[in-house]
Amino acid sequence: MLYSYQEVLEKYGTRNSIEEAIKRGEIYKLKNNVYSDKKYINPIVIVSKKYPSGIITMDSAFYYYNLTDVIPQKVYLATNRNSNKINDENIVQIFMFKDILDKGKTEIDINGNKVNIYDRERLLIELIRKRASIPFDYYKEIIENYRKISNELDMYKIEEYVSLFKNEVNLFDILQREVF
C-alpha cells in the first residue's frame, strides 16, 4: 500500500518515528512524499500517487493494456497544460489542454492502488496523433494489436474523442485505413 507523507505522519505521529520505522524496514520511502509498506512497487503506481491529477498515457498505458511487449523505461503522464513541469528523469510529461485532459480517463486498480489511465479508445487517438514521433516498428506493432481487438473497441467513444481535435477528418481517415 502506498502512503503520502501526511498519511505516514498520522500513522506514526512524528518525523522521528517515521525515520525509525524506515530504519526498521516497516515502511520504505520511495520518493519525496511517497511511502510504502513494500520495498518494490510498480512505477506507474508511484507516479500516480505522487501526481494524483495526472493520467497514465502512451507507452506506459500501451504496455499495461498488452498492446506492446516493450517495457517502457519511463512513465508517461498526461497533465494539465498549466501544470508545473515535473523534474523527474523517469517521467515523460505530456501537457494537454484542460478541456481534453479528462476525456477517456478511467480508474484501474493495481495491487490495491487506484491509478488514472486513459482507456484503449483514447490511447488509439493519441497513438494516431503522435505517430510521426513514434518509431515505425513500434507504431506498427501497436496498430496490429489494435486491429486484433478492433471489435472490442467502442466506436462511439472513438468518434467522441476524434471530435475533440482540430484535424478530426484526417484522424478519422487514418483510423479507418489503419485499424478498421
For the segment 129-156, what is each residue's pLDDT rounded down to a tens digit?
Answer: 999 999 999 999 999 999 999 999 999 9
Q: How confident is the model at residue 91 (pLDDT cuts 50, 70, 90)?
A: very high
The beta strands (E) that lie in 32-162 are given as: 34-36, 55-56, 75-80, 91-96, 105-110, 113-118
pLDDT higher than 90, residue 53: yes
- What pLDDT is recorded for position 163? 94
Listed residue (49, 65, 32, 62) closest to 112, CA to CA:
49
Identify the weakest region by mean pLDDT among 59-63, 109-113, 128-132, 156-160: 109-113
pLDDT higher than 90, residue 13: yes
How far is the C-alpha of 43 from the C-alpha of 78, rounded, in Å?
15
Domain coordinates in residue numbering, the chain: 2-41, 44-178
Whole-model pTM?
Answer: 0.90
